[in-house]
Amino acid sequence: MKQYFIYLILATGVSFNHLSAQDLSATEIVKKADEKFNGEKSSYSLMSMTIIRPGWQRTIEFKSWTSGRDFALSLITAPAREAGQSFLKRGSEMWSWNPSINRLIKLPPSMMSQGWMGSDYTNDDILKESSVVNDYLHEMAGEENIDGRICYKINMTAKENASIVWGKQIRWIDKKEFLVLKAELYDEDGYLVRTETGSDIKVMDGRTVTSKIKLIPEEEPQNLTYIEIREIKFNIPVEESYFSQQNMKRVR
């Protein structure tokens, strides 16, 4: 998702309605695309994730709530054997709750790059630890046509002191709707790790968004992860107290 996933990615809520596209800097374009997908203040989403491997596939359904950059809560709702598992972010601290073993686990920073629920997405993608706006330097790299839409091509290089998974990203952002139609994510050594594409553009809660995201790992192109956004709401009323360890165990 974030990163694309859900990645997860909220900023300060400054409006760019008074600016034309030509007036926007690379950073402002990334920020506008980020807010377009995640809301300026908060969000709620209902999604499914299909993990495809040679010989098998499975689908996970989950709900996610976010508030600003510091708070995120995700709940697995299906399949039944994994339903009830939840993941919480408060500031720089993150936890997972597994009701089947009645155990709350604090996730160390070293686990942020690990796959979430066996998928090609990372814990960082789901819990939105890193910020595409604040943790990168942004540079215009021209324009390209993606699926019939003219896109800004923007290079994103990790800031020196940023604690993030990806050393570099390239994003193709639709000039008209500020949709991320393609993203390439690279490790700290500059090697391409995965490519994400957005499709099936729909209007949800009054915003035009890409409702389907496909992730392809560079070294294992036979492996795929699909995200489908089934419902999304922006700038919902949600209190900081909602993002608590106690609520991890009772949220539905």
Domain residue ranges in the chain: 21-248
- In which residue are the tokens 């193709």 written? 172
Question: Which two three-digit tokens encode residue 53?
Answer: 């491997």
Q: What are phi and psi of 247, to 5 degrees?
A: -70, -25
For 148-186, b/e burial (b = at least 16 CB within 10 A) is ebebbbbbbebeeeeebbbbbbbbbbbeeebbbbbbbbb
Assess whether pLDDT exceeds 70 at residue 138.
Answer: yes
Contact 200, 208 (CB under 8 A): no
What pTM does this model have? 0.82
Average pLDDT over every residue of 133-139: 94
Highest averaged pLDDT of the listed ranges 7-16, 20-29, 47-56:
47-56
Amino acid at site 42: S
Question: Which two three-digit tokens encode residue 119?
Answer: 């998928």
- In which residue are the tokens 């706006």 written? 133
Average pLDDT over every residue of 132-142: 94
Q: Which CATH architecture has domain 21-248?
A: Clam (2.50)
Report the share of the chain in percent with pLDDT over 70: 90
Assess whether pLDDT exceeds 80 at residue 124.
Answer: no
How far apart are the two ends of the chain, measured CA to CA in Å? 22
Euclidean distance between CA atoms 193 and 159, whole angstroms = 19
- DSSP state, residue 4: -
